[in-house]
Amino acid sequence: KAGVTQTPRYLIKTRGQQVTLSCSPISGHRSVSWYQQTPGQGLQFLFEYFSETQRNKGNFPGRFSGRQFSNSRSEMNVSTLELGDSALYLCASSLDSTESYEQYFGPGTRLTVT
Amino acid sequence: AQTVTQSQPEMSVQEAETVTLSCTYDTSESDYYLFWYKQPPSRQMILVIRQEAYKQQNATENRFSVNFQKAAKSFSLKISDSQLGDAAMYFCAYTGTASKLTFGTGTRLQVTL
């Protein structure tokens, strides 16, 4: 079974631009979560989508948004990019059954804002 | 809010030896899961082991085992017969009813010959 895939792997953007990152979960997984990883703040939860609905949201400004499609693929969007948005963005998927809360991660998208 | 604390920023172990990474957490929830993830230089987060809070038996996966002390809110990872490929950042993580992972700050493990 294929793992979680994220595209693109690397991205360079300029301040003020917007960016869209994509995540394809493991087949059969219905929950997709996004995390931001930076040297200063560590790993922080952005949001989680389940059945095309945002179920949980972390403490990030409204510039960070996401969505999930009917095939469970998810996208996250960051508008009006700031230098501080430079980070590794990780996507994780899970079955979201009562028997498994394990989240499996993709390779990440490294975003650099200049 | 739940918190996860890893007090060892760096650890070092010789190949074939055993090392224990520490993790404590704080929560008021009764049902939750704890995990250890490994992040090698490739930055790919790899699930190492999980523990359900309702299970008293400590989880084991090959050379990896945990010491789960629920009352003390402690969840340490023991790596036996350490190998060069074990060198990585190790993150302790918690998830409860919110279905999100809360991570510790990580422990960088070095494996020496």
Residue B70 tokens read as: 């629920």
Amino acid in position B55: K
Residue A41 has pLDDT above 60, yes or no: yes
DSSP per-residue letters across B12-80:
EEETT--EEE--EEE-S-SS-EEEEEEE-TT---EEEEEEETT--SPPEETTEEEEEETTTTEEEEEE-
Whether pLDDT at A99 is above 60: no
User: Would you give the DSSP letter of residue A58?
Assistant: -
Residues from chain B that touch A103, judged by Cβ atoms under 8 A, are 47, 95, 101
Chain B positions touching A108 (Cβ under 8 A) are 43-44
pLDDT recorded at residue A96: 75
List of chain A residues whose C-beta atoms are within 8 Å of the C-beta of residue B5? none
CB neighbour list of residue A73: distance below 8 Å, 6 or more residues apart:
A22, A23, A24, A25, A32
Q: Do A43 and B42 touch (CB under 8 A)?
A: no
At residue A98, the pLDDT reads 57
Per-residue pLDDT tens digits for A13-33: 999 999 999 999 999 999 999
d(CA B16, CA B111): 9
Is the CB of residue B16 less than 8 Å away from at least one CB of chain A? no
What pLDDT, in 10s, does the model give residues B50-71?
A: 999 999 899 999 999 999 999 9
Predicted confidence at residue A97, as pLDDT, reads 61
Is B100 touching A (CB cutoff 8 A)? yes
